Structure 1
Amino acid sequence: MGTFNQQESNLERVFSDVACYVQTIVSPEQAQAVIDTAFRTARVRLQPAVIILPHDIQGVKMVEPEPEMWVSRSSAVAPSTSIVPPHSELLKAAEIINAGQKVTFLVGHGANGATDELLEAARLAGAGIVTALRGKQVVPSDVPYHSQQVGLLGSVPSLHQMKGCDTLVLLGTNYPYGQFLPATGQARAIQVDLKPEQMGLRYPTELNLWGDVKSTLSPLIPLLHETTDLDWQQTVADEMVRWESEMDAQAMAQYNDGVNPRRVYYELNKRLPERAIVTADAGTTADWYGHHIRLRRGMMGDLSGRLATMLAAMPYAVVAKFAYSDRSVICTIGDGAFQMLGMNELITIKKYLDRWQSPQLIILVLHNNDLTQVSWEMRTEDGNPVWNTAQEVESVDYAGWAKLLGFQGITVTDDDQIADAWDAAFAHQGVTLLDAHTSKNVPPLPPHITLEYAKNTAKALLKGDPSELGVIRDSATAVITEGVERVKGKLHLGDNTDDSGDTSSPRSE
């Protein structure tokens, strides 16, 4: 190192921003301690750990560490993470929750394993529940007051919860989009997390509890008063009925320039088998995953979290098959990410397929020849037209590539083919690639369209967006569908409240 030699690279520096522990092994005596520490740290900090083992050190003879200075005789046993805050802090938390009239739980990936305790606490507090994208699997979708996600990929009921709650309890989440959280001073807030450095970052919390969510909720539950006022919880449940109706209608909308990607996820959701595992990539796959996939108890789902990086869906799916080889795994990925990594990962799947108890692995590729999420961000965030040089993805016969490797390949070019394609995929005890030729112009509409969102989109189109006609046509279809469904829901329930919380005529939608 430090001599500008061939292939010299400071790997510790490369990985330092994402890994909780990065070390280079430079001697045999050091190896055991570094490896043990990496595993312990990864399990406790819930982050990647990186060990760098240089080639010349790999050839050095291993020696048993002696009991002397500068040598560590280490343990591979990870510390328990069942951390419980002091009883005095739990009493403070109970006082805050018991005083709330409109309590909302925001649940993240850090709450895994705490499903029963979380539902019991919500029952006692009359709380509504919102999950971060990585927390979907923590709360079953059939809980009526679970309003799924909040934010650009979220639901109207979740947005209303954040606008209306007087108490916010963040459980195992580092949800980063502060603009969708309650206004400062609106809600009393508590955060429970194993990572103390991440508490109080997103919202001015009144109480931060350093602890495991499950271990913290267990002694907290006996301190909670059972509320008899369930109006808040019922409001969330009623709004979710309307939201699901809107999502169904959006999925059934027809577009002229390709399959409706929402319909692909809608039909997948209807067919998810028990204990299924679903992975999603960063991009519009995450939009449709959030809007249409409903994980029941026992199911799992994941995608890249804080880094929101492309490519994750395929390796996550492969890892899922190694960890749970008896389960059905469904990978949902865009064509841009699939070209970057997914196509080659199919070779990895072919290599290891015979090691899995169940060979069923389904890969859905959204084939629209565009890096669609960024294309929409260019329009809605920057007011710029799409620059095709950066955004266009070369069209490839993905189903044909799967067949070349001996897998089942199915091409879908029409909405009416989607249901049969999924039926064929789930009937096949092997690997299936579903190549869905979807429209790139279906807008990933947020639950509330801001003036800035609309103005920037209009600016982009006026500047000469190459997909202008398709964007206008498909956006109009999506917005009209949204408006019709919201008006129908409000007329049905006699509700004259718009998304901003103002009272007005249903025609305002």
Structure 2
Amino acid sequence: MADETVAEFLLRRLRDWDVEHVFGYPGDGINGLLGAWERADDNPRFIQARHEELAAFEAVGYAKFSDDVGVCAATGGPGAIHLLNGLYDAKLDHVPVVAIVGQQASTSLGGAYQQEVDLSSLYKDVAEFSQFISAPQQLPNALDRAMRTAQVRRTVAALIIPNDVQEMAYSAPTHEFKMVPSSVGISDSVTAPAEADLDRAAEVLNSGERVAIMIGQGARGAANEVTAVADTLGAGVAKALLGKDVLPDDLPWVTGAAGLLGSKPSWEMMRDCDTLLMIGAGFPYSQFLPEYDQARAVQIDIDPTMIGMRYPFEVNLLGDAATTLQFLLPKLHRKENEPWRKKIEDSVSDWWKVLERRAAVSADPINPERVFHELSPRLPDDAIITGDSGSVANWYARHLRVRGAMRCSLSGTLATMGPGAPYATGAKFAQPDRPVIALVGDGAMQMNGINELITIGQFWREWRDPRVVIGVLNNRDLNQVTWELRALGGSPQFVPSQRVPDLDYAAFARAAGFRGIRVQDPGEVADAWEQALNAEQPCLVEFVTDPAVPPIPPQANREQIESVTEAMLKGDPDGWSVAKEGIKSKMQEFLPRRR
């Protein structure tokens, strides 16, 4: 029997860690790995992406929707560089991903050889654990630490392996000086705060009359506990964008997303509360939290590096959200503050009516809000929804009402363009029996989304539920940046930077093996979603939408209004359409309320 190579051992160790998929792209810097993959009968399975960045995004999507570690692989030099955007997305959203990258032969390093890049320096910031492998005996400890670091700290880890080391005969660490043995696996653990700190937190929460709760993705396993605390305190609950799927939106006291993309009820609740409880959220937009001298505040987070940030919290509780709330709940006094809870629930009810009216506002040709409004009630209860960055994130945040077992996510902190479609691929490998819907703008589709259609078209027949729906907003504009220019800079649309070529996305999708539907009539939006969600193959629905429909923030301040007006006076190319659509949208907030 031939000696086991380092690459063969690495794949065997990944199997021991129950890794089933590795998302990657080949290159000669990982030829030793690729040869080992062939000898291992493609186990764990190599999922070939169209680009290394897409491979990293696929690994992030897999990790987000499986709660397992995502693994990606690439050659050295350009391949390792291309992974970085997806890896930073994982790092900033606290997603466990391990990157395995090649490197030129160790004998050539330092010789300005082809594709030689100092990967240790390059990966030093993105990876919390990054290790260069120079000897076979080093590998098990390095790989095990990478997997544990990614899993426990919910971050990025990386292994850099020269191609000649990949092909060396593997030998395990021996019982000798300067050898470091290792083992596979890690147990679950629960972190809870000290009793005295729980008492301090309870005193703060019990003393308030108008309690607001903010939850993020760190509260995902604590939905029942959050509900119980909200009921006890008579509180409303706002959601950071990454926490959108923690609680269903049909609860009358859930105010929806917070922040610039958020809802008016969330903004009003934060404006008027006297107490704040933040759970598992790294929400960075402090201007959408209470004034600093307005509310007493408590934070719960399992990550010590995120404790005490964003707001002057009086008590910082380090612990698992569910466990901490279980210990905290018996210490809380039930509040009978009916007016506060009723005010929140009335605001939420009115907000959903405002969104319904906004979605019905006419546009040229289709109002993008209508696209999302029509989708929301048609989503299957077990749907996985991925969103991209850009104006599409506004409508995703506001119009989609989470219910049932739905899961959803986007690039919350890096806010990079391009992950919507590859997240969907990763989600399908993580949950092949669930329908996946990706919501993407035309800018992100042209950046990399159309390439991801090829990958989905290659693999969809093996998924138990073949439904992958890509919804594309085709407005021929990099719309979010256009609106930021207007509202934040007082600048009119700069056409050379903002306009994108018109492309028939539905036709491209059909060439990739999808069903393709192009919608230009507002009356056909609902039927298009029905067709897509009932198709027996992947389907792309292209909606030709109006770029002049404004993503109105929950509270437009005077400076923003003056900036948009200034942009119009400077000769914005879509000035008249922007003014017309903005007035129509804003008017929906002032129509008579109906109970």
TM bin (shorter chain): over 0.9
CA displacement at 1:217 relative to structure 2 = 1.0
Farther off after superposition, 15-24 or 417-426? 15-24
Whole-Å Cα distance in 2 between the matches of residues 25 and 348 of structure 1? Answer: 31
Instruction: Indicate yes or no: 2:356 matched with 1:248.
Output: yes
Whole-Å Cα distance in 1 between the matches of residues 474 and 243 of structure 2? Answer: 27
Whole-Å Cα distance in 2 between the matches of residues 16 and 466 of structure 1? Answer: 45
Correspondence for 1:297 among 381, 404, 423: 404
Whole-Å Cα distance in 2 between the matches of residues 193 and 19 of structure 1? Answer: 22
Structure 1 partner of 2:55? none
Whole-Å Cα distance in 1 between the matches of residues 350 and 427 of structure 2? Answer: 34
CA displacement at 1:71 relative to structure 2 = 2.4
Whole-Å Cα distance in 1 between the matches of residues 178 and 462 of structure 2? Answer: 43
Whole-Å Cα distance in 2 between the matches of residues 396 and 264 of structure 1? Answer: 19
CA displacement at 1:20 relative to structure 2 = 2.7
Answer whether contact 1:266 1:293 (CA < 8 A) is retained. yes
The amino acid that maps onto 1:225 is H
The amino acid that maps onto 1:443 is P
Whole-Å Cα distance in 2 between the matches of residues 15 and 138 of structure 1? Answer: 32
CA displacement at 1:18 relative to structure 2 = 3.5
CA displacement at 1:41 relative to structure 2 = 1.1
Whole-Å Cα distance in 2 between the matches of residues 188 and 344 of structure 1? Answer: 49
SS in 1 for 2:371: helix
The amino acid that maps onto 1:43 is Q
Kindly, what percent of the aligned residue pairs are identical?
41
Structure 2 partner of 1:324? 431
Correspondence for 2:535 among 425, 428, 439: 428
CA displacement at 1:14 relative to structure 2 = 3.4
CA displacement at 1:50 relative to structure 2 = 2.3
Provide structure 2 residue ranges, at least 5 long, that are not aligned to the other structure. 1-108
CA change 1:181–1:157 in 2 (3 A) is same
Farther off after superposition, 26-35 or 74-83? 74-83
Instruction: Indicate yes or no: 2:466 matched with 1:359.
Output: yes
Structure 2 partner of 1:195? 303
Structure 2 partner of 1:378? 485
CA change 1:11–1:371 in 2 (3 A) is farther
CA displacement at 1:345 relative to structure 2 = 0.7
Structure 1 partner of 2:455? 348
Correspondence for 2:278 among 157, 170, 189: 170
Structure 2 partner of 1:151? 259
Correspondence for 2:418 among 297, 311, 315: 311
Structure 2 partner of 1:65? 173
Answer whether contact 1:44 1:81 (CA < 8 A) is retained. no
Instruction: Please give the per-residue CA displacement for 1:152-202, whole angstroms capped at 9, x wherever unaligned.
Output: 111111111111111111100100101111111211111111211222220
Answer whether contact 1:379 1:457 (CA < 8 A) is retained. yes
Answer whether contact 1:383 1:455 (CA < 8 A) is retained. yes
TM-score by length of 2: 0.80
CA change 1:364–1:33 in 2 (3 A) is same
Structure 1 partner of 2:20? none
Structure 1 partner of 2:326? 218
CA displacement at 1:313 relative to structure 2 = 0.9
CA displacement at 1:458 relative to structure 2 = 1.3
Farther off after superposition, 117-126 or 463-472? 463-472
CA displacement at 1:435 relative to structure 2 = 0.6
Whole-Å Cα distance in 1 between the matches of residues 296 and 508 of structure 2? Answer: 54
CA change 1:82–1:230 in 2 (3 A) is farther
Whole-Å Cα distance in 2 between the matches of residues 180 and 208 of structure 1? Answer: 20
Whole-Å Cα distance in 1 between the matches of residues 529 and 287 of structure 2? Answer: 37
The amino acid that maps onto 2:420 is A
Structure 2 partner of 1:503? none
Structure 1 partner of 2:200? 92
Instruction: Please give the per-residue CA displacement for 1:425-459, whole angstroms capped at 9, x wherever unaligned.
Output: 11212100001111111110011111111111111
Answer whether contact 1:81 1:212 (CA < 8 A) is retained. no
CA displacement at 1:37 relative to structure 2 = 1.1
Whole-Å Cα distance in 2 between the matches of residues 24 and 369 of structure 1? Answer: 45
Whole-Å Cα distance in 1 between the matches of residues 338 and 186 of structure 2? Answer: 42
Structure 2 partner of 1:103? 211
Structure 2 partner of 1:496? none
Whole-Å Cα distance in 1 between the matches of residues 154 and 338 of structure 2? Answer: 36
Correspondence for 2:522 among 412, 415, 422: 415
Provide structure 1 residue ranges, at least 5 long, that are not aligned to the other structure. 494-509
CA displacement at 1:17 relative to structure 2 = 3.5
Whole-Å Cα distance in 2 between the matches of residues 136 and 390 of structure 1? Answer: 32
Structure 1 partner of 2:570? 463
Whole-Å Cα distance in 2 between the matches of residues 216 and 428 of structure 1? Answer: 44
Answer whether contact 1:43 1:78 (CA < 8 A) is retained. no
Structure 1 partner of 2:131? 23
SS in 2 for 1:190: strand
Farther off after superposition, 11-20 or 218-227? 11-20
Whole-Å Cα distance in 2 between the matches of residues 121 and 388 of structure 1? Answer: 50
SS in 1 for 2:130: strand
CA change 1:16–1:263 in 2 (3 A) is farther
SS in 2 for 1:53: strand
Instruction: Indicate yes or no: 2:375 matched with 1:272.
Output: no
Mapping of residues 92-131 of structure 1, within 5 Å: 92-131=200-239
Whole-Å Cα distance in 2 between the matches of residues 230 and 21 of structure 1? Answer: 50
Instruction: Please give the per-residue CA displacement for 1:112-150, whole angstroms capped at 9, x wherever unaligned.
Output: 111111101111111110001110111111111000012
SS in 1 for 2:281: coil
TM-score by length of 1: 0.93
The amino acid that maps onto 2:521 is D
SS in 2 for 1:301: strand
Answer whether contact 1:39 1:76 (CA < 8 A) is retained. no
CA displacement at 1:2 relative to structure 2 = 4.1
Answer whether contact 1:44 1:79 (CA < 8 A) is retained. no
Whole-Å Cα distance in 1 between the matches of residues 532 and 286 of structure 2? Answer: 40
The amino acid that maps onto 1:442 is V
Structure 2 partner of 1:138? 246
CA change 1:232–1:18 in 2 (3 A) is farther
Whole-Å Cα distance in 1 between the matches of residues 556 and 112 of structure 2? Answer: 53
Instruction: Please give the per-residue CA displacement for 1:259-278, whole angstroms capped at 9, x wherever unaligned.
Output: 11100000100101111111
Whole-Å Cα distance in 2 between the matches of residues 207 and 142 of structure 1? Answer: 31
The amino acid that maps onto 2:250 is D
The amino acid that maps onto 1:61 is A
CA displacement at 1:478 relative to structure 2 = 1.5
Whole-Å Cα distance in 2 between the matches of residues 12 and 201 of structure 1? Answer: 30
CA displacement at 1:42 relative to structure 2 = 1.1
SS in 2 for 1:241: helix
Answer whether contact 1:400 1:409 (CA < 8 A) is retained. yes
The amino acid that maps onto 2:533 is F
Whole-Å Cα distance in 2 between the matches of residues 237 and 18 of structure 1? Answer: 42
Whole-Å Cα distance in 1 between the matches of residues 157 and 187 of structure 2? Answer: 16
Instruction: Please give the per-residue CA displacement for 1:375-403, whole angstroms capped at 9, x wherever unaligned.
Output: 11011111111212211111111100111
Count of residues paired in the alignment: 487
CA displacement at 1:229 relative to structure 2 = 2.3
Structure 2 partner of 1:449? 556
Farther off after superposition, 369-378 or 80-89? 80-89
